[in-house]
Structures are given as C-alpha cells and as structure tokens.
Amino acid sequence: AEPENIENTVLLIGFGRFGQIVSQPVLARGYTLSIIDSNAEFIRDIGDFGFKVYYGDGVRPEILHAAGAATARAILICVDDKEAALKIAEIVKEEFPLVPVLARAYDRGHAIDLLKAGVDYQVRETYDSALNFGGEVLRTLGEADETALQMVEEFREIDRERFALEQVGGIYAGRSLIKGNAQPADIIAAKTARERERRAAAQDAAQGAAR
C-alpha cells in the first residue's frame, strides 16, 4: 500500500523503541505522522497497537518521496543502525534541503558525524536516561533531590562544553573535562606500563631490522 494524504505530515523513519516514544507527544498534539520501518513482521504486529507503518528502509530516495518527504514539516531519523542513520541524513539533506531533520545518535562520534551531514538536531540515544540514572544514584546514596538535580544540570553544562570541543578537535579534545576514578598512583602506573611496552616493542623492531 502507498501512503495517502501525505502532505504536511511529519515523516518518522524507524519505529522501534525510540521512534515509538518520539511519536507520542507529537500525535497527542494533533500532528499527522507518516511512519516507515524496514521490519515487515514488526509492521504487522504494531498494527495491533493502532499504528499504520509503511514498509521501507529509508535509504532509498523513491521510498522517501512516496512517504511524503518532499512536503514533510520535519523528517525524524529514528533508526537503530548507525550507518543507515548517517546515510539517510545525507540523502534527505541532499534531496530535501529545506525540510528540518532531527536524528537519533548512537554515541558522541556518531553525533558529530550526523551534524557534519547537516542534521538540525541530534540526541545521543542513551544520554538522557543515563544522566537521570546518575541523579537517581545520588538520591539512593542519601543526597537531597535538589542536590541530585543540581549535579545533573552541572554535568549537562560540562558535557555541552566537552562536545563542542570534540566537534572541533576530536574525541580527545575535551578530555580534561572528564572526571576519572583513577588515583594519581594508578595513572602513573598505567603510564609507566605503557612506556615499558612501547620501549620493548621498539627494541623488538630494532632487533628484527638488525637480523
């Protein structure tokens, strides 16, 4: 079946754990969602929950066109495959440059790649749950709710700064903003061990060359 009445809808690509949650506040506010997913069996099962999902993998321009990408108010890339997400981002930014694109990112490196591909917004898929989990740990340890929320907010700021540094300088760039658990002695021991290995490797190479 081909999608009908697809003008002015929001196009959601990938309807797993992530896309399903994304859809709820959008549908609750009265927007029309055109949904595509590449798992045929899943599309059938999700019908029992009141969803109409079209089959397609989102990396083919003709599928995107058929699903209304050209006239969409926004395109939401919510697939769980890193490479596919990036490919879809590149295609939609090329084919539909005026449509805002929001994307689910796997990790920091993927987030940077998606921004380079031109997406207008990205969120790392486990970031917010992990951070709220960190706040809950503090509450469990006896900290006041206010303190837990403050530590979480402070970290959000630090992480934003770290991410900005990484976007320019790569994944080591924001390293000084990370709080480690290693003691100074651990760090020195690790460096010494690494230095020793490096010297041993260099010596082996030199002996190999001399033979």
Of 118-157, which residues contact a second copy (CB under 8 A)?
120-121, 123-138, 140-141, 143, 147-148, 151-152, 154-155
Smallest gap, in angstroms, from Cβ of residue 136 to a second copy?
Answer: 6
Stretch that binds a second copy, among 20-28, 61-69, 86-94, 200-208 (CB under 8 A): 20-28
Residue pair 86/23 in contact by the 8 Å Cβ criterion: no
**What SS3 class is residue 189?**
helix
Nearby residues of 118 by Cβ (< 8 Å), 6 or more positions away: 89, 90, 93, 101
> Does 73 interact with a second copy (rule: CB under 8 A)?
yes
A 10 A CB-CB count for 200 gives 10
Between 4 and 206, name the residue whose CB sits nearer to a second copy.
Answer: 4
How far apart are alpha carbons 186 and 193 in whole angstroms? 11
How far apart are alpha carbons 36 and 146 in whole angstroms? 41
Between 182 and 201, name the residue whose CB sits nearer to a second copy.
Answer: 182
Of 26-55, which residues contact a second copy (CB under 8 A)?
26-29, 31-33, 35, 47-52
> Does 199 interact with a second copy (rule: CB under 8 A)?
no
